Amino acid sequence: MCGVEQAAREVLAALVEAKKKADDAAAALLDLARGMDAGDRGCAGVLLEVAEVVGRSEQAAHGQLVQVLAQAERVGADRAGLGTWISAHLDVTPGKAQALTRCARQIGAVPELAGPLSSGRVGADTVRALARTAQAVAGTDRDAVTELTETLAISASKGVAAANRHVRVLEHTVDPGSAEEILARQRAKSYARVSEQEGGMCRVDVLLDPARSAILRAAIDLQTAACIRERQYDKTDPLPADVRSTEQINAQSIVRLAEVFLQASPEQRGVAFSPTSLYYALLTGSEEKNIAETLYGHLVPRSVVAPPDSATASVIHVQDGQPVLLDGERIDTTPTARLASPAQRTALAFRDRHCTHPGCDRPVSWSLHAHHRVPFSKGGPTVLKNLTLLCTQHHTLAHLP
C-alpha cells in the first residue's frame, strides 16, 4: 500500500466516524422533535434550524461527491464506467447516474469551484446549471472559469431559475442555431395522451415544447383570469357551483377552448372536412329517459346535452340500438344514393366508433369509409343497417375477390 493510499484510508476512517456521529445527532434531534407539542413556536424555530443544517450538509455532500467522482474517473477507478458504478452503489436511476457523471466530468475538477461546491450553499440544481455552462463554452474562445463564476453568482443572488435562464441564453449565444435544433428535438418528444379512467372520467396528459405550450397556456390563462375576475369583481359566476379551485377553473377553460373550436366554421378551424364531431344519443326506453350517451360511450345526465339549435353538438335519437334521427331529422332518407350522406356518416361515427373489421380499433378520426355490407352494385341500399365503418386497409380487403 502506497503512502497516498494509506493516508486516504486513514482520513476515510475519520470521515466515516464523523458521519456516524452526525447521524446519531440527527436521530437524537428527530426523537426530540417527535415529543414537541404542536403549535410550540420556539420548538418550531429549532426544527427549522435543524432542517437548514441538514440541508446544507446534504448540499455540501453532493458537491463533494461530484468532486470525488471527478477524481475517481481521472484515475480510472471503475473499468465498467462511472455511471454504472453510481447506479449500482448510490441507489439512483441510470439516467440520474449518467447526469451525475456528466457533472463530475464537466465541473468536478475545476479548482475555482472546489470551495463553493463544498460550502453547502450550492444545491444539485445549481450544480447542473454549472455543468451546462461548462458544456456550452467547451471548445469556444470563452473563458470557462469566468462563465462558471457568473452562473454561480446569478444562482446565489437571483435563484436557480434565473441561473438556468442565463445558461439557456448562453447556449443560444454560443451556438445561434442550437435554438432551432433544441426546439425541433422538443417537438419530437411532445405528445398528447388520452386515457379513460374509472367511472367514465378521462385523463389528458400533454407534453409540449416551449413555443406551443406558450400558446396553449396563454389561452387557458386568459379564460381562467376572466372567470376569476367575474367571480371576484363583477359578483357573477359563469362557472358551475362545484368548480372552485384554480385547477378546476383551468379544466373548465380547456373545455371552453374546445367548445369555441367546435363552434367555428371549417374555414376557421383550418381543416377541409370538419363535420360536427360532438354527438349525444338520447336513448329510448322508460328506464333511460334521463340519461344520454356521449360519442365515446359514457352515460351523462340528459341535462348537459346542448339544445337542438346549438352549433356545438348534434343530438342523435337511437331506437333498438340503431340511430334513426339526427337533430330531429330522419337519417335514412335516400336508400338509392350511391354514397352515404353526411347525416349517415355522423350516425355511423356514433354507432361504430371505430373500424369494425375484427381486431381493428382505428378511430373515426382516421377518415373511415362507409362500406356497404351488401354491395351497392348488387342492390344493397344505402341505409345504416347496411353500412359499416372500415379503415382504408380493411375497406380495400373487403372488396378483394
Quick one: 173 and 47 in the same domain? yes
Residue 83 lies in a domain: yes
Quick one: 42 and 167 in the same domain? yes
Quick one: 312 and 383 in the same domain? yes
Quick one: 341 and 394 in the same domain? yes
Residue 25 lies in a domain: no
Task: Judge whether residue 198 has pLDDT over 50.
Answer: yes
Task: Judge whether residue 239 has pLDDT over 80.
Answer: no
Tell me, rounded to whole angstroms, the distance of Cα 179 from its chain centroid.
22
User: Which of 113, 143, 177 lies at the terminal end of a domain, its last residue?
Assistant: 177
Task: Judge whether residue 115 has pLDDT over 60.
Answer: yes
Quick one: 140 and 202 in the same domain? no
Which residues span the domain enclosing 329?
A: 279-398
Quick one: 261 and 283 in the same domain? no
Q: What does pLDDT average to over the chain?
A: 86
Quick one: 131 and 44 in the same domain? yes
Q: Considering the chain, what percentage of its residues have pLDDT values greater than 90?
A: 46
- Angle value at C-alpha 183, between 180 and 186, nearest 5 degrees: 155
Domain count, the chain: 3
Residue 201 lies in a domain: yes
pLDDT in tens, 328-358: 889 999 999 999 998 898 888 888 888 999 9
Region 250-267 average pLDDT = 84
User: Which of 213, 248, 269 lies at the terminal end of a domain, its last residue?
Assistant: 269
- Whole-structure pTM value: 0.59
Quick one: 112 and 199 in the same domain? no
pLDDT at residue 310 in the model: 56
Quick one: 156 and 220 in the same domain? no
Quick one: 342 and 211 in the same domain? no
pLDDT in tens, 284-325: 554 456 777 777 777 777 777 665 555 556 778 888 778 888
Residue 313 lies in a domain: yes
Residue 173 lies in a domain: yes
Quick one: 151 and 231 in the same domain? no
Residue 18 lies in a domain: no
pLDDT at residue 51 in the model: 92
